[in-house]
Chains A and B, each alone.
Chain A
Amino acid sequence: MSLDSADVKKIAHLARLAVDEQDIPGYAHNLSNILALVEQMSAVSTDNVTPMAHPLDEIQRLRDDVVTENDQRDHFQQAAQQVEDGLYLVPQVIE
């Protein structure tokens, strides 16, 4: 599978990345090479192999359902650019 310029633009948009028009062919080439490597791997027969969700052969540890966090809003909001009435303010988004 190889990617063309349109694919690169779409992926960049989904990841909200600004990409210079002149760099797009280069990205398309490099990304296609990566996919080619993945394609090589797909030649390996995995019929009897369980798909791996995590490299560690462990299972998830669970925590009890207890509230352990207290309110640190003021502390966290010091890092925010703009706050009002306890809300974080961001550029307007309307769907």
Chain B
Amino acid sequence: MEWETVIGLEIHTQLATKSKIFSGAATAYGAEPNTQACAVDLGLPGVLPVLNREVVTMAAKFGLAIGAKVAPLSVFARKNYFYPDLPKGYQISQYELPIVEHGTLEIELEDGTTKIIGVTRAHLEEDAGKSLHEDFHGMTGIDLNRAGTPLLEIVSEPDMRSAKEAVAYMKKMHSLVTYLGISDGNMQEGSFRCDANVSVRPKGQKEFGTRTELKNINSFRFVERAINFEVERQIDVLESGGKIIQETRLYDADKDETRSMRSKEEAMDYRYFPDPDLLPVAISEKQLAEVRNTLPELPDAKRQRFMADYGLSRDDAGQLTADRMTADYFETVAGKCGDAKLAANWVNTSLAGALNKDGKAISASPVSADMLGGMLLRIKDNTISGKLAKEIFEAMWQGEGDADTIIDKKGLRQITDTGAIETVLDEIIAANPQQVEQLKAGKDKLMGFFVGQVMKQTGGKANPGQVNELLKKKLGL
């Protein structure tokens, strides 16, 4: 039987505020345990939550960016469950009236086709603390620094039909929240986490199959692997006559498998009810208009502009606009060297490769956009060849200074003095009479041989185009 996969994603993105959603405690990552957990975060008796204005603004920004309805009135609810990293016994979330509803996100698949994925809703909630199960004499250690960190939970429609579509959606969403500046998107630190609802059904069937929820998927690579594993598992179960149980499954990246965590608690088991400690949150048309004015240029628009203004290919523009930092970096480089295509090539290949190799984010690149732009300027004005540029880039990466410093220090200036090149060329012509004859007889391939010899003799400092011309002139070609 042919099966169709149906996927919906729930993305939890930490909002980049300084203080928590309901308290004035700091949200900075990596602090000593429990030093950023105040009385409100600890759920001590008598405390009251006070909502952070910035959190509301960020959610509204997100809503506008996905063309959603931003609710003029939204309501916080208590989601009740017991776990030691949730000291109050309930998580403050939104249930019936979330702040954002009915948006869309366009994704692009590998073959270049696009697809619109529905975003059902996005609601505000507080994060829980962290449980550490390492060795505490058979006890569990609780760190409540993360408790009360603002989260925007973004729930998609079950619109995705393959793991690849799910990855494309997750990447696009990641790009969007970082563009908007509402999240740092740091997946290692848990700022952008994803749960996937996965089911399969016989192709052509209208009803959805029973779904499982995959937790703990914290990288783009894992989301694809986890979903593919789960789809295979479900098909195996169904084809051997079994039934899928609605449950939560944990993805284990080390073993590349999913395993049962708990059978799905029904929604009503959380006993949601409006939080009496918090009043409804209002956003006026005027506030919304103000937020709209602060929206930055978004990835799709930026990509279009890069194609139109810089004459870049769709792929190049897509790669450059995938995150805002890269896009800004590129624009600085292009502005400095005045050649957008050259800039795009260097950013997308040499720079991307070096960052990838050293596992660095572009914000931590040892070669700044100004430095790269400055080096490309030296290619443009013929001071250096493209080949030498690679060497200079490597030296800049190792912290040896900017391009001009390195060019001077290493004497890498391209030889533009015709006389100097001619001298070298004459020697090579004299030493290779046979090749000269063959070239004259029409074996054009040998041009490369002579240019190569000159480059070798000059340590790559000759301009290949110039060598070519001189050679032709000398041999009367």
Contact = CB atoms under 8 A, between A and B. Distances in A.
B33 A92 contact: no
A47 interface: no
Interface string B11-32: 0000001110001111000001
A36 interface: no
Interface in A1-59: 14, 16, 51, 53-54, 56, 58-59
A14 B36 CA distance: 30
A85 B141 contact: yes
Given A14-B271, A64-B53, A71 B279 contact: no
B39 interface: yes
> Number of contact residues on B: which range applies?
35 or more
Given A53-B280, A60-B279, A93-B140, A69 B82 contact: no
B24 A16 contact: no
B34 A87 contact: yes
Contacts of B18: 65-67
A49 to B, nearest CB: 15
Contacts of B280: 53-54, 59-60
B34 A88 contact: yes
A11 B463 CA distance: 82
Contact of B261 (A54, A56, A95): A95
B42 interface: yes
A53 B24 CA distance: 25
Contacts of B52: 62-65
8 closest Cβ pairs, A-B complex:
A68-B24, A87-B141, A65-B54, A62-B53, A86-B33, A69-B38, A60-B279, A59-B282
Interface of A: 14, 16, 51, 53-54, 56, 58-69, 71-73, 76-77, 82, 84-95
Interface of B: 17-19, 23-26, 32-39, 42, 44, 50-56, 73, 75, 80-84, 96-97, 131-133, 136, 138-144, 261-262, 269, 271, 274, 276, 278-282
17 contacts: A16-B82, A53-B75, A53-B274, A53-B279, A59-B281, A64-B52, A64-B54, A65-B52, A65-B54, A73-B34, A73-B37, A76-B44, A82-B139, A88-B142, A88-B144, A90-B140, A92-B139
